[in-house]
C-alpha cells in the first residue's frame, strides 16, 4: 500500500488550456461516483470539468419553496462555477434508487421515486437554459447493472 503521507498527481495542463470545458452536477452517492467519473471521462470525453456533487444532485436546485436557503446555496455554487469557467456544456446526471430522494424529509414532497428525479432533471435543465443560454445543457440518468452502470440520455 502506498504511503498516505504525501501524493503527487500526474502532470495535467492548466485548466485554461482546455477551453470552456464543462460544468457537471450529480449525486455524491458512493455507489455511483466511480461510474459517473468513468462516464464523464470515457463516455462523454470530458477530462476536465467543474463539479457540484451533493446528495441528490440536481435536487439541491429544486428546493426553492421547501428549503429556500438550501436551493440558494446550490444556485450560488452553479453561478459561481458558470462565471468562473463559462462552460460551453452543462451535464446533469441523476440515478436510479437515489437514497436522498427516498429520505423521509423529501418523500412526502415529491413521492421519492424515479419520476421525481426525471422531473427535477427536466426542471433544472430548463432553468439552466434560461439562466445560461450560451451553454448546451444535457441530462443523463444512470442505473446500476451488476458492477456496471448504464447511462441513458433524457
Q: Residue ranges of the domains in the chain?
A: 18-153
Cα separation of 96 and 73, whole Å?
A: 25
> Which DSSP symbol is given to 57?
G
> In the prediction, which pLDDT does 69 show?
82
Q: Is the pLDDT of residue 154 over 70?
A: yes
**E strands, the chain, where?**
22-26, 50-53, 89-95, 136-145, 148-153
What average pLDDT does this structure show over 91-113?
79
* CA–CA distances in Å: residue 64 to residues 36, 68, 121: 26, 4, 15
Looking at every residue in the chain, the average pLDDT score rounds to: 87
42-84, pLDDT tens digit by residue? 999 998 899 999 999 998 898 666 666 878 899 999 999 998 8
Letter string b/e over residues 69-106, b meaning 16 or more CB atoms within 10 A of that residue's CB: ebbeebbebbeebbeebebebbbbbbbeebebbeeeeb
CATH 3.40.1050.10 fits 18-153, yes or no: yes
Hey, is 51 helix, strand or coil? strand
Task: Say what the pTM is.
Answer: 0.86
Amino acid at each position: 500500500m502506498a504511503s498516505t503521507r504525501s501524493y503527487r498527481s500526474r502532470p495535467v495542463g492548466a485548466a485554461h488550456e482546455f477551453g470552456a470545458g464543462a460544468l457537471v452536477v450529480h449525486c455524491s452517492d458512493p455507489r455511483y461516483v466511480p461510474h459517473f467519473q468513468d462516464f464523464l471521462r470515457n463516455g462523454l470525453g470530458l477530462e476536465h470539468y467543474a463539479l457540484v456533487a451533493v446528495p441528490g444532485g440536481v435536487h439541491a436546485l429544486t428546493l426553492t419553496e421547501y428549503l429556500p436557503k438550501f436551493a440558494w446555496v446550490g444556485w450560488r455554487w452553479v453561478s459561481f462555477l458558470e462565471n468562473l469557467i463559462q462552460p460551453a456544456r452543462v451535464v446533469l446526471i441523476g440515478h436510479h434508487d437515489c437514497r436522498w430522494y427516498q429520505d423521509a424529509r423529501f418523500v412526502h414532497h415529491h413521492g421519492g421515486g424515479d419520476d421525481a428525479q426525471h422531473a427535477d432533471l427536466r426542471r433544472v435543465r430548463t432553468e439552466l437554459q434560461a439562466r445560461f443560454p450560451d451553454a448546451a445543457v444535457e441530462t443523463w440518468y444512470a442505473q446500476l447493472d451488476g458492477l456496471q452502470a448504464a447511462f441513458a440520455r433524457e
